[in-house]
Amino acid sequence: MKILAIESSCDETAAAVVEDGVRVCSNVVATQIAEHRLYGGVVPEIASRRHCESIAAVTEEALEQAGVALPELDALAVTYAPGLIGALLVGVNFAKGLSLASGKPLIPVHHIRAHIAANYLAHPDLKPPFLCLVVSGGHSHLIEVKDYTEFRIIGRTRDDAAGEAYDKAARAMGYPYPGGVAVDQAAGRGSPTYRLPRPQVEGSSFDFSFSGLKTAVLNLLNQAAQKGEKVRKEDLCASFQLAVCDILADRLMRAAESTEYCQIVLAGGVSANSGIRARMESECRERGLQLFVPPLCYCGDNAAMVGSQAYFEAQGGRFAGLDLNAAASMPVDQAYF
């Protein structure tokens, strides 16, 4: 089954052709990062406009690189939630138009489900059920993936997402948006010599809280500036990264122990982080758990992961009509159907 998938939930316009949920025939991503960087973060109105400008060309490029024409496809798929509403609407309306014009069925895909499915593209041996830690710019969730389209959220962030905390701490240290990669690289050159908090969420073993950690970084920088002291940025990055790793490892390993899953999966843009990957690798090895991480090219937003999840949604007959709407927020376990 060949699916043309479209993704426009944030600041990447992407299209891909994916066969049977696992074979990527093409994967085209047009990023808007350079423009949003001027403002220190994603400007929703600019994101929507750029999606409008590039979506047709990105889609044509994906078809061309895959060597398929529209009539040869079995279905179309689009990310309909969650994300920036104006950005999502561009992809959803474009996909609906294409579906109407071509007569191809349309599969609505939840963005977080797609991030999880990025793992199926690289690990043919990975099959649900498993426990997944999703860490991205907008989301931090611990999810039981009971089946390809059956999910249960067992932990979540109470405030900032992990990527958001990375980007805000990075910005305060003077790194350009999105600062996650810069902090990761700087951390590799520093030592974790600053003391930073590991906030716990009262009454929950699996929830996260990152805003206190981010605020601790901002306070440390402000106090140093007031006293005229120099901050060793690379050491601060290493300290921040260690705190994030400690928090994520604690919740993920507790959840693994309590749910007894032996397959552990990482997903989302922050799963590209070298410290988090190495830490989860050693935590899982110690406990005899099998860890799956997406290849770096499928960690951030892309449409290949949307095409993968779409295949599994289609197996369950989950198609949308032309009344499909976008939604800015939508829990992963209560998707469209």
Interface ranges with ligand KG4 (CB under 6 A): 10, 136-138, 163, 166-167, 178, 180-181, 184, 268-270, 272-273, 300-301
Give the count of residues interacting with Zn ion (CB under 5 A): 2
Question: 167 contacts which partner out of Zn ion, ligand KG4, none, CB within 5 to 8 A by kind?
Answer: ligand KG4
Q: Where are the alpha helices (DSSP H) in the chain?
A: 33-37, 44-66, 85-102, 111-122, 162-172, 180-189, 211-227, 233-259, 274-287, 304-315
Cβ-based neighbour number of residue 107 at 10 Å: 28
Phi, psi (degrees; rounded to nearest 5) at 248: -65, -40
What is the amino acid identity at position 94? F
* Alpha-carbon distance values, 168 to 165, 183, 213, 322 (Å): 5, 11, 11, 39
Q: Are 249 and 287 in contact (CB under 8 A)?
A: no
Closest CA to 265 of 108, 136, 120: 120
Which is nearer to ligand KG4, 166 or 292 (by Cβ)? Answer: 166
Closest CA to 306 of 4, 94, 47: 4
Question: 272 contacts which partner out of Zn ion, ligand KG4, none, CB within 5 to 8 A by kind?
Answer: ligand KG4
Residue from the set 301, 314, 320, 335 that interacts with Zn ion by CB under 5 A: 301
Q: Residue 320 has which token pair?
A: 């949308």
Which is nearer to ligand KG4, 137 or 199 (by Cβ)? Answer: 137
Site string for Zn ion, 232-271 (x = CB under 5 A): ----------------------------------------
Which is nearer to ligand KG4, 199 or 268 (by Cβ)? Answer: 268
Minimum Å distance from CB 306 to Zn ion? Answer: 10
Minimum Å distance from CB 294 to ligand KG4? Answer: 10
Question: 163 contacts which partner out of Zn ion, ligand KG4, none, CB within 5 to 8 A by kind?
Answer: ligand KG4
Residue 164 in contact with Zn ion, rule: CB under 5 A: no
Minimum Å distance from CB 274 to ligand KG4? Answer: 6
3-state secondary structure of 198: coil
Q: Give helix 233-259 / helix 211-227 axis angle, nearest 10°.
A: 160
Q: Residue 297 has which token pair?
A: 């090219």
Which is nearer to ligand KG4, 175 or 194 (by Cβ)? Answer: 175
Which is nearer to Zn ion, 21 or 268 (by Cβ)? Answer: 268
Cβ-based neighbour number of residue 70 at 10 Å: 15
Residues 127-146 that bind Zn ion (CB under 5 A): 136
Question: 166 contacts which partner out of ligand KG4, Zn ion, none, CB within 5 to 8 A by kind?
Answer: ligand KG4
Question: 155 contacts which partner out of ligand KG4, Zn ion, none, CB within 5 to 8 A by kind?
Answer: none
Residues 32-91 that bind Zn ion (CB under 5 A): none
Which is nearer to Zn ion, 192 or 268 (by Cβ)? Answer: 268
Angle at 41 between CA 298 and CA 330, to 5 degrees: 60
Which is nearer to Zn ion, 136 or 308 (by Cβ)? Answer: 136
Q: Give helix 211-227 / helix 162-172 axis angle, nearest 10°.
A: 10
3-state secondary structure of 109: strand
Residue 268 Rama label (left phi>0; alpha psi -120 to 50; beta): left
Residues near Zn ion, by CB under 5 A = 136, 301
